[in-house]
Amino acid sequence: MNLFELLANFWRVDEQKNFTGNETRLYFFLIHLANRSFWPDWVEFADKRMVANANISLQVLKSARERLRDAELLNYIPGGGYRVKTKYQILTPKSKLKHQPYYNSTKDKNSKINSNGKKKGFVHTGSDFD
């Protein structure tokens, strides 16, 4: 499992789902647990300890992991009874990400030269702070 692919996939899905801070904290804590355990298929962790480590209520934990499962970032089997821990599985991304350029370059239609914002009210002075 590639950690960088998991992180990139999480942020891509986050742009669509708009995860809360608790959901983000839970996901990254589970990645930490999986990494610490040398990436087993399933990570076991008690709900009471998870609530204490994440500093959230049990109801918030349940809704956060349900939302992460709906987003297909993880799977889990809830623990039940005495000393039965919840099992978590971090799912790998289904598709490869396509990298999009983040720069916006405008072209002057008449001369076919990049103007990089020199027109339309932008004052270009050549300073580093433009």
Edge-to-edge strands, sheet with 43-45: 43-45, 86-90, 74-77
Say if CB 58 and CB 76 are below 8 A apart.
Answer: no
State how far the Cα of 77 lies from the Cα of 23, in Å rounded to an integer. 17
| E strand residue ranges, the chain | 43-45, 74-77, 86-90
This prediction has a pTM of 0.70
In the CATH hierarchy, which fold is given to the domain comprising 3-90?
Answer: Arc Repressor Mutant, subunit A (1.10.10)
In which band, very low, low, confident or very high, does the pLDDT at 129 lie, cut at 50, 70 and 90?
Answer: low
Residues in the chain: 130
User: Taking the domains of the chain in order of start, what are their residue ranges?
Assistant: 3-90
* pLDDT tens column, 74-127: 999 998 766 889 999 999 987 654 555 555 555 555 655 555 555 555 566 666
